[in-house]
Structure 1
Amino acid sequence: MTLYAAADHERYVAEPPKRVVAPERTPFERDRARVVHAASSRRLAAKTQVVGPQSDDFVRNRLTHSLEVAQVARDLSRALGCEPDIVETAALAHDLGHPPFGHNGERVLAEFAQACGGFEGNAQTFRLLTRLEAKTFGPDGSVGLNLTRATLDACTKYPWSLADADTHKFGVYDDDRPVFDWVRAPAEGRRRCLEAQVMDLADDVAYSVHDVEDGVVAGRIDLHALDREAVWATVREWYLPDATDPELDEALAGLRAVEGWPDAAYDGSRRHLASLKNLTSDLIGRFCGAVQDATYSAGDGPFVRYAADLAVPATTGHEIAVLKGIAAHYVMRADDRVEVMSLQRELLAELVAGLEDRGPDALDTPFADDWKAAPDDAGRRRAVVDQVASLTDASAVTWHARLASG
């Protein structure tokens, strides 16, 4: 706590003192509890991570992924000496803004929302935390969970607006700028606080390793028989456009040298499952250990807020990208998956159009209220976007069927 200034503990709307519970919780522990108990956190259990949560009992959903990111983030933050509760809360919250059907749904909403300021999962997360997930009210309405400045800053993976974005990634909508500017007051330009950098790395580590694990168990990935050229093409197209073959070959060789990398196809036995679980643990330890060592070597710290930056070795970045490329090529680009994704996009496009046509009577009360209070068509469209983004995969299908039948 002593490494964090008084401003880091501030909330956008001041709150009266809480009843003291022994032992008394810190402001950052309260932040974590608020995210854990949020309705949007529960909905993550029914939202797609890579494949739909209803497709298999083993595959990860957005909630289990977020829990795994939180565990990796907490361990790394503790090793570096920054506040674990801040980083863990950011990790638990990092996917709250994802709509139904994951990144597939995100693309549909981004196209639909062009006329009202765009859509991006990380910007939607910020909107949920500071407006939509109502817990605290200020003079101008809901301020969401009213988290501390340090925690909200750690949740900000892309600290810029759509107008300032170099790619399709951004972290705030224009009408959420007041609280965003308050959060970012101590920052300079686009620099992210160290806690946000740890959260982002933990996300990369977790999904690169676990998506491959899911793919192996599902019989889609055979780690000892990879199509090198096809995977390298996917790595360059999706993640590292400038990566050379020698760099990626070196990264794969490093991964294959990890104890437990399979030398035979996965057969579903307990022995193979245990070996696979040990491999995922070793890979996570390899990546986090390399980053911890590099960060210590890059500076003396303290490793909090804007006093330092996380150092990720190029080799580690390449190894993570290779794993992500393997999952992308064999899972996300599989013919059956591409067909399902096409149907999902069609369903979601029809849903947002239908809800906009029906108006507030078709929306849940909070979003209907936003529609009625909106000053223009852009505001009304944003209410529809917020409504659809809040839905789970299953509820999106149900809402679509209800519109189609009525």
Structure 2
Amino acid sequence: MSFAPIACNPAETRGRLIAETESPMRSVYQRDRDRVVHSAAFRRLKHKTQVFVYHEGDHYRTRLTHSLEVAQIARTIARVLGLNEDLAEALALAHDLGHPPFGHAGEEALNACMVELGGFDHNEQTFRVLTSLERRYAGFDGLNLTWEMLEGIVKHNGPLRGPHAGARNLAQGVPETIAAFDRAWSLELDGFASAEAQVAALSDDIAYNNHDIDDGLRAGLFVIEDLRDVPLAGPVFAEVATLYPGLEQTRMIHESVRRMINVMVSDVLSESARRISAGNLSSVADLRRRTEPVIAFSDAMRGNDIGLKKFLFQRMYRHERINRTMAQAKTVVTDLFLRHLDEPELLPPEWSREADHGDRRARARVVADYIAGMTDKFALECHAKLFGDRALVSEKS
């Protein structure tokens, strides 16, 4: 197979932390993808929410459907640019494995519980899942993924330290788990990740912006008329309404959202091709030494992206209905954390044994790992069992 000069060629992989005999039928990145898909953490994404809690309806996105949509976009971009589709897909499928139940509300609650005990971050948690918490293989903990896969997970949003790290990454610092791994096997945290990792990150932006517009409309959090002045969305919905007068709303939404995705993907392809050409890049190493990403939106599309995010933040993520549910969700996560921290014997035996070793900080990390792995449904059932209530009530109940 022919790859672009900046693509990650599986024949040139830096390998795995624990050496294995590779498959004669699948490339190393195909194996990475397959290990992600067969993991317990990936299956649990089916019952972890994006914005809506699982019992609010079957038609809203979950972490699983979102990850599949990100992977589809990532493969398209990677294919056109001559990158490694398997690596881009594997990164897209794995990027949300560390999310706890109830989306960002669950993460905020766990981080608040852990603020003096090491903190909680879903990106670090994804790394923990991939390197230690998945325990399926006889020869190692985690999935023993390739260096390129682990690098991409850690740095898909840019370097974690050094002169080219973003303000947010610098402010957060390098999480403990990643720092410890980096000392054993350097992930070059001051450089940019592969083009495939950058593709996965931008595909994530494209997917959740557009699909949250879809879910928000279907949930009645806002209406099509509210999008009139929103960058990109307004013009696209207006165009579809002109082309198909009287079109029923369900078709109107789908037709508009798919066109928005196409416009954004086309922009990424054009801008990225321009940057690759202008940068005179001849290897992956050249890309990692750059001062900015090579996979990117144009300035105009970046403005559209910011406008979409601003609208969704105001009209969806901070909607009264969502806020009420997520406040309840934070209570569930906080209650579960504090109860299991004080009474680790309530944990399943394999978790309880691990929590019994070490100090309170080490125990807190075990409890956080356990709760982060819960689905929305299991967290609610566990809370009801321990506290005897129904913590979340659907708007439709």
TM-score grouping bracket, smaller chain normalisation: 0.7 to 0.9
Counterparts in 2 of 1:304 and 1:379: CA distance versus 1, 3 Å: farther
Counterparts in 2 of 1:278 and 1:377: CA distance versus 1, 3 Å: same
The corresponding residue for 2:40 is: 39
CA contact (8 A) 1:260 1:275 kept: no
Answering whether residue 322 of structure 2 is matched by residue 320 of structure 1, we say no
1:248-263 paired onto structure 2 within 5 Å: 252=231, 254-258=232-236, 261=239, 263=241
Counterparts in 2 of 1:326 and 1:380: CA distance versus 1, 3 Å: same
Distance 2:179 2:247 in 1: 51
Counterparts in 2 of 1:126 and 1:76: CA distance versus 1, 3 Å: same
1:203-214 paired onto structure 2 within 5 Å: 203-214=204-215
Match of 1:383 among 333, 349, 366: 366
Distance 1:391 1:304 in 2: 41
Per mean C-alpha deviation after superposition, the further-off stretch among 297-306 and 285-294 is 297-306
1:146-161 paired onto structure 2 within 5 Å: 146-156=144-154, 157-158=156-157, 159-160=159-160
CA contact (8 A) 2:124 2:178 kept: no
CA contact (8 A) 1:123 1:172 kept: no
Q: So what's the TM-score if we normalise by structure 2?
A: 0.84
Amino acid paired to 2:175: Y
Per mean C-alpha deviation after superposition, the further-off stretch among 328-337 and 97-106 is 328-337
The corresponding residue for 1:174 is: 176
Q: Secondary structure at the match of 1:391?
A: coil
Answering whether residue 87 of structure 2 is matched by residue 86 of structure 1, we say yes
Q: Secondary structure at the match of 1:257?
A: helix
CA contact (8 A) 1:27 1:148 kept: yes
> Which runs of 5 or more residues in structure 2 are unaligned?
288-293, 390-397
Per mean C-alpha deviation after superposition, the further-off stretch among 318-327 and 387-396 is 318-327
The corresponding residue for 1:275 is: 252
Counterparts in 2 of 1:66 and 1:5: CA distance versus 1, 3 Å: closer
Distance 1:332 1:97 in 2: 20
Amino acid paired to 1:395: F
The corresponding residue for 1:106 is: 107
Answering whether residue 29 of structure 2 is matched by residue 28 of structure 1, we say yes
Amino acid paired to 2:286: A
Q: Secondary structure at the match of 2:9?
A: coil
1:334-373 paired onto structure 2 within 5 Å: 334-359=319-344, 361-373=345-357
1:405 shift after superposition? 4.8
1:58 shift after superposition? 1.3
Answering whether residue 267 of structure 2 is matched by residue 290 of structure 1, we say yes
1:167 shift after superposition? 3.4
1:101 shift after superposition? 0.6
1:191 shift after superposition? 2.3
Per mean C-alpha deviation after superposition, the further-off stretch among 106-115 and 201-210 is 106-115
Amino acid paired to 1:15: E
CA RMSD of aligned residues (A): 2.9
Distance 1:82 1:303 in 2: 13
Distance 2:166 2:257 in 1: 34
Answering whether residue 51 of structure 2 is matched by residue 66 of structure 1, we say no
Specify which structure has the bigger relative contact order, considering alpha-carbon pairs within 8 angstroms and separated by 6 or more residues.
2
The corresponding residue for 1:237 is: none
CA contact (8 A) 1:127 1:172 kept: no
Distance 1:211 1:9 in 2: 37
Per mean C-alpha deviation after superposition, the further-off stretch among 75-84 and 1-10 is 1-10
The corresponding residue for 1:235 is: none
1:384 shift after superposition? 0.3
Distance 2:185 2:76 in 1: 25
CA contact (8 A) 1:73 1:199 kept: yes
1:183 shift after superposition? 5.8
Counterparts in 2 of 1:303 and 1:286: CA distance versus 1, 3 Å: farther
The corresponding residue for 1:133 is: 134
Distance 1:303 1:367 in 2: 48
Amino acid paired to 2:15: E
The corresponding residue for 2:394 is: none
Q: Secondary structure at the match of 2:101?
A: coil
1:86 shift after superposition? 0.5
Match of 1:11 among 16, 22, 42: 16
Distance 2:85 2:217 in 1: 32
Per-residue displacement from partner, 1:344-383 (whole Å, max 9, x unpaired)? 1112111100001111x2223442232133x321111100
Per-residue displacement from partner, 1:366-405 (whole Å, max 9, x unpaired)? 42232133x3211111000000000011111111122225
Using the aligned pairs only, state the percent identity: 32
CA contact (8 A) 1:81 1:303 kept: no
CA contact (8 A) 1:13 1:143 kept: no
> Which runs of 5 or more residues in structure 1 are unaligned?
229-250
1:182-201 paired onto structure 2 within 5 Å: 184-185=186-187, 187=188, 189-201=190-202
1:262 shift after superposition? 5.8
CA contact (8 A) 1:128 1:144 kept: yes
The corresponding residue for 1:307 is: 286
Per mean C-alpha deviation after superposition, the further-off stretch among 342-351 and 254-263 is 254-263
